[in-house]
Amino acid sequence: MLLLSASFVLLVHTGAVALPTAAAPEAIEKVPMQTQSSTQNTNVLFIVLDTTRYDHMSAYGYPRKTTPVFDELAEYGVLFENSYSVVPYTTSSHISMMSSQYPFVYQPRPMRANSSGFVTIPEKYLMMAEVLKANGYNTAAVISVGMMDWDSGLSQGFDYYNFPPGVRLAAETTPFALDWLEENANNGKFFLWFHLYDPHDNYMEHDGITEQYVDYNKMYDELYPQHFTEIRKVISRYDGEIRFGDDHIGMVIDKLEELGVKDNTLIVYTSDHGEQFGEHETPFYRGMSFPVLYEHARTLYDQETHVPLVMSLPGTLPEGKKVDSFVEHVDLMPTVLDVLGIPSTEKAQGVSLLPLMQGDVNSFRQFAFTHLYPIISPYYKSAVQEECWKYIYDHYQDEPQLFNLCDDPQETINLVDEEHEQALRLEEKLIEHIENYSGSVEGATPEFDVETFQRLRALGYLQ
């Protein structure tokens, strides 16, 4: 038996081992940070293209040319081949990026298996924008979905925080970023977080773009053959949405060049999570009479957790380099600070990727951790994976899964019984990782208000 069981704008001037239940970490005091003067005056453009699978991007070998802007950054920067979201849900993933905290630490799980709370990070946690602001940066966020409003805690440290009441397209979001850069890019160093939501369902068609991807992708031939036409339509729209978002990201990068600041701007381009297209059995929902054709925030398979990541800074970071070590979203905040020459926070749970980019691979972690918790959806799972082995544990169903990724990259053959020792070894690693970052102070899970519930349901996260 295995071990485990059961558009608004904010202007700011200032025998069994289980995961912790409703537990919060040791309190983190927010104290004024010691600033560090920097002569390089490097800016930061932090880009997140929502819901983008790494294997639907041409830089990772996808046969369709979906991401020319990302591809160019990879040509002149560092491409990470094994980058993982620590949680496949939009708000949680961004919080982990911006705080370097695992989601089970800043938002403990509820006692029951249902969606019962709203994702938020308490004010006591230090966010990347706060550190940069304390070090002389002008800070701005231009985002495309209202669930990441100031109640999420993500606005901490931003002078300018622009978001819609619901969802807006890249064509509606991008002008705010361009205008902000026009007014601020040459008025001191800046940190701009730019988020686009377009590849998230429901996928829209775009004239001149969607029709480029109508050729059916053979990687989906064996999935739901009775719904061939629908799958073909879904994939073409999804790839078109990725291209639409990437094109608008290109507009922002072009603006940096127009303003003469591109060469001294660190560009980080990633996604918060991926998307499934029927590769694994999933619950019936949304009134469909057959398994869903696209989804996320329900499993920890690679289709949802393996995300793109590229970083570029001419003259500082290597050009055309590929890194195949495991990296996680909690590493992004320490990395940005390290590249800028700013000390990371003591409570950061990720590590800087700068030594890794400079060739130090031996001292880096040899695994990735991912987590799915039932604050938004009724799924509670944890996973750890190495080069060839991946272990997933469903805490509510008491169900372990073990996959040999070298032989079975699509994670279809559960070897937990045949490879019992491997399962035990990875489960112990999973427990150790969780215990290393878990606190003991009791905490509460916030409840939904009516408006929040309606927004999340409209976005597809609740039913």
Q: Report if residue 413 sits inside a domain.
A: no
What percent of the chain lies above the pLDDT cut of 90?
Answer: 53
User: Is residue 421 exposed (0-12), middle (13-18) or buried (19+ Cβ within 10 Å)?
Assistant: exposed
* Residue 263 included in any domain: yes
Domain assignment present for residue 89? The answer is yes
DSSP state, residue 317 = S
Using the predicted structure, report yes or no on whether residue 289 has a pLDDT greater than 50. no
Flag the least confident range among 56-60, 71-75, 197-201, 279-283.
279-283
Task: Using alpha carbons only, give the angle 76, 79, 83 rounded to the nearest 5 degrees.
Answer: 160
pLDDT digits (tens, 9 = 90+) for 104-121: 887 755 444 333 346 788
Q: Answer yes or no: is 77 within a domain.
A: yes
420 pLDDT more than 70: yes
Count of other CB atoms within 10 angstroms of residue 107: 26
Q: Which helix (H) or strand (E) element contains residue 268?
A: strand 265-270
At position 263, the amino acid (one-letter code) is: D
Give the long-range contacts of residues 6-9, CB within 8 A, separation 24 or more: 6/395, 6/396, 6/398, 7/162, 7/163, 7/164, 7/165, 7/168, 7/172, 7/176, 8/146, 8/149, 8/162, 8/163, 8/164, 8/165, 9/160, 9/161, 9/162
Q: What is the pLDDT of residue 114?
A: 36
User: pLDDT digit string (tens) for 196-251?
Assistant: 998 776 776 777 777 676 664 545 545 554 555 566 777 888 898 999 999 999 99
Q: How many domains does the chain have?
A: 1
Q: Give the rounded percent of residues in the chain with a pLDDT score beyond 70.
A: 73
- Is residue 211 within 8 A of residue 61, CB to CB? The reply is no
**What is the pLDDT at residue 73?**
98
More confident residue, 27 or 421: 421
Q: What is the pLDDT of residue 333?
A: 97
Asked whether the beta carbons of 384 and 433 are under 8 A apart, the reply is yes
What band does 344 get if pLDDT is binned at 50, 70 and 90?
confident
218 CA to centre of own chain:
27
Alpha-carbon distance of 217 to 235, in angstroms, equals 8
Digit-coded pLDDT (tens) for 386-397 = 999 999 998 877
Checking DSSP bridges between strand 368-372 and strand 321-328, what pairing results, if any?
Answer: unpaired
Cβ distance 14 to 30 under 8 Å?
A: no
Residue 397's pLDDT is what?
Answer: 78
Q: Which of 132-136, 198-202, 351-355 has the weakest average pLDDT? A: 198-202
Between 374 and 352, where is the model more confident? 352
Residue in 332, 345, 258 with CA at minimum distance from that of residue 46:
332
The region of weakest confidence among 157-161, 255-259, 394-398, 425-429 is: 394-398
In a domain, 363, yes or no: yes
Contacts of 210 (CB under 8 A, 6+ apart): 236, 237, 240
Integer Cα distance of 203 and 210 in angstroms: 10
Residue 427's pLDDT is 93
316: domain range? 43-369
More confident residue, 29 or 180: 180
CB–CB of 193/129 below 8 Å?
yes
**Domain containing residue 219: CATH number:** 3.40.720.10
Classify residue 119: in a domain, yes or no: yes
Residue 320: CB atoms within 10 A of its CB come to 10
pLDDT given at position 294: 59
Residue 407 scores a pLDDT above 90: yes
Better-predicted residue by pLDDT, 190 or 448: 190
Distances (CA, A) of 284 to 90, 224, 295, 304, 461: 22, 14, 11, 18, 14
